[in-house]
Amino acid sequence: MKGRVFPTSNHSVVFVKSAEKASIEHDNEIHLKSVSRESSSGKKEQSPKIITICTLCGRFKGFRVRRNRFILSCTAISLLALLIGIIIVFYAIVPAIVKSTIEKAELSFRSLNIGDIGNNGFRLRAQLELSRTGSISAKILPPLIINVDNVGTVRNDDTISIVGDPNRPTIVPIDSPFSVSNLAAFHRFTRSLIFEPHVIWHLTAKASVQPISGVMPVYSNIPFNKKVKLNALNSLQNVKIKSINLRRSDKERIFADIVIEIPNPSLFNIDLG
């Protein structure tokens, strides 16, 4: 410590600080207070409860929000984006996939039986084969009303389960009255069935499809439009009489037991009763 020594009357020594040293210590004290204030103000500005958000790559200074408000805003925006994404997936993407799958599917008949023929229709018993249905399982919900070539309608009241295996077709059994809605068209249809080598059925319907599982939405009015080419009876060619038996005849009456063989080149099995 620097200073001057002055003698006193009681022989004690007194040290006095020089003016230069006092000035230096005073300056140091002021500097420490200034640093302390800057540090405290910096801590306030960098409080963990306040977040500074910059906007537009520095073109604006940005703004400050409290951390809890920032977290709530981010959560709300994330939930809103998730909700919009779910709506887009379930009500835009999935219906488009379902429509495309039904459109690409192929329909054919394994068997076809016509019986109980009446004036206004008949009973149709058939097995339909639905193939190329893709790898997504689905259900076609009843009722499925199929319009056949604008002649009449067939109604299916059973659920059609699509297995979701592209190599495994779906078999759809049909046992329904065929209700004729256009009698003139039905006559043309019958004539084509008997005399033409082939007939083409135009099957149209509006299906209600539920993909994947029971928790998924049901998508209604999915177009189901198929053309099915079938072998017809082709004028019943190559009809043969196999045998004629007159043994039951007598002097007054003739009874002929005739066995006729009619080859059927088509899937149609007609029960005449």
pLDDT > 70 in the chain, percent: 76
- Which helix (H) or strand (E) is 228 found in, with range? strand 219-231
Task: Report whether the peptide linkage leading into residue 7 is cis, meaning its omega lies within 30 degrees of zero.
Answer: no
Using pLDDT thresholds of 50, 70 and 90, give the confidence band for residue 52. low
Domain ranges of the chain: 3-45, 52-99, 105-235, 240-270
**Of 2.60.40, 2.60.120, 2.120.10, 3.30.70, which CATH number belongs to 105-235?**
2.60.40
pLDDT digits (tens, 9 = 90+) for 196-250: 999 999 999 999 999 988 889 999 999 999 999 998 888 888 888 889 998 898 8
Q: Rg for the chain (alpha carbons), in Å?
A: 47
For the cut 50, the answer to whether the pLDDT of residue 65 exceeds it is yes
| C-alpha span between 20 and 127 (Å, rounded) | 114
pLDDT digits (tens, 9 = 90+) for 168-190: 899 999 999 998 989 888 888 88
Which burial class, exposed, middle or buried, applies to 22 when counting CB atoms under 10 A from its CB (0-12, 13-18, 19+)? exposed
Using pLDDT thresholds of 50, 70 and 90, give the confidence band for residue 5. very low
Using pLDDT thresholds of 50, 70 and 90, give the confidence band for residue 15. very low
pTM for this predicted structure: 0.66
pLDDT at 204: 94
CB 228 within 8 Å of CB 248: no
Q: How is residue 120 written in tokens?
A: 């206004």
Other Cβ atoms closer than 10 A to 186 = 19
